[in-house]
Amino acid sequence: MELSGRLTSFPVAELLHWAHNDCRTGTLVLRSAGREKRVSFRDGQIVNCLTDDPSEFYGQFLLLNGYLDHDTLFRCLSLCREQGRRLGSILRDEGLMEPADIQRTLRYHLEDVICDIFLWDHGVFFFRAEPPPEEELLAEPIATLGLALEGSHWVDEVGRIRQVLVDDYVVLGRVGEMPEGDMKPRLRRILSEVDGVRRLEALYGAVHGSFYRFLTASYELYEQGLVEVVHYGQALHARRKDAGLDDLLWQQATREQEVEGHHFAHLGDLENYVPCWVRPPEDGEWARMPDDVRELYSAFNGRRRLRQILSNDHQEWQRQIELLMLQIGKETIALLPAPIAELQAESTGIGGEERSRFWTEVFGPESRPGPRSVAEILAAGEAEP
């Protein structure tokens, strides 16, 4: 793993410039609250992007921009599941879209998915120098530097829009009746959901698609006098629903489809899982860590569950989550279903030879400096709390 860190230290624009200038081939994985995106590069140019958020899938893009209606999209997605094929091939074979239009709309869609990362206010990333599968690549790559400029433009535009739609708790109300005549499909969809009760975040939950496109369309409706701000709401919870631990971490997709059909497997209630090092940091890396980071990482000893380790303060909790996610991205941390002492006791109760127990198959015997791994804790006979 050549590069990893937090987005507060390495902005997305800098990461794209790095990949372009160094002509990188591989995948940039970015994770934040409830989201993961994988941007694939070949010789420094963007050739694909995968997202785990169903609201950003290709089918939603086609629906919101008027290329398909609900019934047609549902039928096509059903065929995708039945035949194990991707949406693009179904659209082509069913005569619903021309191949050139599929490539064009997929390209626009991927640009939106990537530029959305510029709006993240926190997160972690790591780069894997592994060539992406050929069958998942765009016919023509996306210019990396051009997309970096577009993403920066998104940030400026959101700043302007937020002067009116100040946050996601704003409540919009419709002004007059639904207009007749031509209207952009996205505008009509949003306007049909405006009821003077739901906040922006709830409206987006009903509309889906790129959040930036949703926000700019909502602002366009405001400028046209079709909606007005009827209430400036407030957050009901200190911790947003989409910032739960269950949303922050997940296993890699069991099957990564074109963009619209990824199925990411969630691990359940991760606050009950027990973190433990598989490959602890080397002495030098451990010594360079800030004291608070070293204290957090020292708690990943296979003895306590995450809910007993993480802070109750939201900002500190979020920072700790990013640090945990960073190590999971590096594949240095294991999440155990129970403390090592319990697992060891259960394994001993089952009987059998020592070498057949779970830890001998999951963890190797290699000893490393810094915090100890599961294997070392067990070997030292210190699994008891």
The secondary structure of the chain, three-state, reads CCEEEECCCCCHHHHHHHHHHCCCCEEEEEEECCEEEEEEEECCEEEEEEECCHHHCHHHHHHHCCCCCHHHHHHHHHHHHHHCCCHHHHHHHCCCCCHHHHHHHHHHHHHHHHHHHHHCCCCEEEEECCCCCHHHCCCCCECHHHHHHHHHHHHHHHHHHCCCCCCCCEEEEECCCCCCCCCCHHHHHHHHHCCCCCEHHHHHHHHCCCHHHHHHHHHHHHHCCCEEEEEECCCCCCCCHHHCHHHHCCCCCCECCCCCCCECCCCCCHHHCEEEECCCCCHHHHHHCCHHHHHHHHCCECCCCHHHHCCCCHHHHHHHHHHHHHHHHCCCEEEECCCHHHHHHHHHHHCCCHHHCHHHHHCCCCCCCCCCEHHHHHHCCCCCC
- Per-residue pLDDT band at 237 (split at 50, 70, 90): very low
| 93 and 27 together in one domain | yes
| 134 and 205 together in one domain | no
| 277 and 186 together in one domain | no
| 96 and 203 together in one domain | no
Average pLDDT over every residue of 18-43:
90
- pLDDT of residue 342 exceeding 50: yes
What pLDDT score was predicted for residue 373?
55
| 67 and 124 together in one domain | yes
Q: Per the domain annotation, does 238 fall within a domain?
A: no
Comparison of pLDDT for 265 and 65, the residue scoring more: 65
Cα distances from 121 to residues 12, 118, 155, 209, in angstroms, run 11, 8, 11, 19
| 56 and 73 together in one domain | yes
Q: Report the candidate in 103, 120, 142, 147 with the shortest Cα–Cα distance to residue 212.
A: 120
| 31 and 118 together in one domain | yes
Contact 248, 325 (CB under 8 A): yes
Token representation of residue 63: 């629906």
What pLDDT score was predicted for residue 219?
95
| 30 and 153 together in one domain | yes
- pLDDT of residue 256 exceeding 60: no
Comparison of pLDDT for 228 and 282, the residue scoring more: 228
The count of structural domains within the chain is 3
Token representation of residue 278: 């598989």
Cα distances from 367 to residues 94, 278, 300, in angstroms, run 58, 10, 16
Contact 16, 40 (CB under 8 A): no
Pairing, β 333-336 against β 26-32 = unpaired
| 99 and 214 together in one domain | no
**Rounded CA separation 348/280 (Å):** 26
- pLDDT of residue 222 exceeding 80: yes
Cα distances from 330 to residues 70, 190, 235, 326, 378, in angstroms, run 40, 40, 34, 6, 23
Instruction: Give the tens place of pLDDT for each residue, 144-169.
Output: 999 999 999 999 999 999 999 999 99
Q: Per the domain annotation, does 262 fall within a domain?
A: no
- pLDDT of residue 241 exceeding 90: no
What pLDDT score was predicted for residue 78?
84
| 9 and 130 together in one domain | yes
Average pLDDT over every residue of 2-29:
90
- Per-residue pLDDT band at 16 (split at 50, 70, 90): very high
What pLDDT score was predicted for residue 47?
93
Q: Per the domain annotation, does 52 fall within a domain?
A: yes
What is the phi/psi pair of residue 159, to 5°? -60, -40
| 327 and 371 together in one domain | yes
| 347 and 368 together in one domain | yes
Q: Which of 50-54, 160-164, 326-330, 363-367 has the highest mean pLDDT?
A: 160-164
- pLDDT of residue 48 exceeding 70: yes
- Say which residue the tokens 């957050």 belong to: 235
Q: Report the candidate in 108, 110, 127 with the shortest Cα–Cα distance to residue 30.
A: 127
What pLDDT score was predicted for residue 268?
38
Q: Per the domain annotation, does 240 fall within a domain?
A: no
Burial degree of 312 (CB within 10 A; 0-12, 13-18, 19+) = exposed
